[in-house]
Amino acid sequence: MGYEVSLVNSNFRFKVSKCAKAYGKLKALQESQNETQRIAWSIPLPADLPAVFTDNGYNVEKRGGYWVVTSREGKWRYDERMWEALAEFVEDGRFLHFVGEDGEHFLIVFHGGKTRHFDGEIIFSGSEKMLADLKEDEFTAAETERQHCVDSAIFNLIQDIVPSYGQVSDWDDLWDMSIIGEIRDEIFEWLKEKKVLTDDDEQAFYPFREVEDGETPNG
C-alpha cells in the first residue's frame, strides 16, 4: 500500500556544510513525534542527511559543495515533513516537481525558509488552441451520416450498373474512395451546371474541411 511518487523535474540542491545541522533538526523532529505520527518515519533515522534522502527514494549526487537531487521513485512517506524541516537551510527558489501514480502533479517550492505546496497540471504551450482547432475539424454526427449516405449511394449505383464490381474479393479495392470521390465531384459539378446547386451548397452536399494546401480531405 502507499502512494507512488516520481520526481519529474527539480533544481534542488543542499549545501554539504549545512547537512549536520539540518540532520540534527530532523532527528529532533522525529523524536518529538508521537507513535502515530512516527509511523512513516524510519526508526532509527538513517545515519546522515544523504542517507535520509535515499531512505525516502531520492537519488542524490555530490557536486562541488552541494548534494543535488537527481531522481525519486517509490512510496511517499515522510517527504513533506522532511522538506518542511529542511526549508530554513534551502536557498530561495529551489523546487521539486512530482507526479503521483494517478497522474496528479504537484510542486514543492522553497522560499523564505518555508515550503509551499502547489497542485496543478501540465499544459503544453499552444496545445489548447491546437486541440480546439482539431475539435473544430471534427465532423458532427449529422455530417458523417451525410457523407456515408452519399458514398453508399454512389457505391450502390456502381454495383447496379456493373454487378461484377461487387464480386471483387478485396474489400479495400471494392470500396475505392478515390473512384467514389471522382464520381461524387462529377455529380456535384453536373448539378451546378444544371443550376440545381451552387458553390454555396457544397458543404451541405458533402461535408468537408479545408486543409492548409487548399485541398479538401474528402474529395
**Under 8 Å between Cβ of 6 and 73:** yes
**Mean pLDDT for all residues in the chain:** 83
- pLDDT tens sequence across 7-38: 999 999 999 999 999 999 999 988 887 776 76
Please write the tens of the pLDDT for every residue from 185-211.
999 999 999 999 999 999 999 988 775
Provide the residue ranges of all domains of the chain, joining segments of one domain with +: 5-120, 138-205
Burial class (CB in 10 A: 0-12, 13-18, 19+), 49: buried
Give pTM, 2 decimals. 0.56
What is the distance, to the nearest Å, from the Cα of residue 56 to the centroid of all Cα atoms in its chain? 27
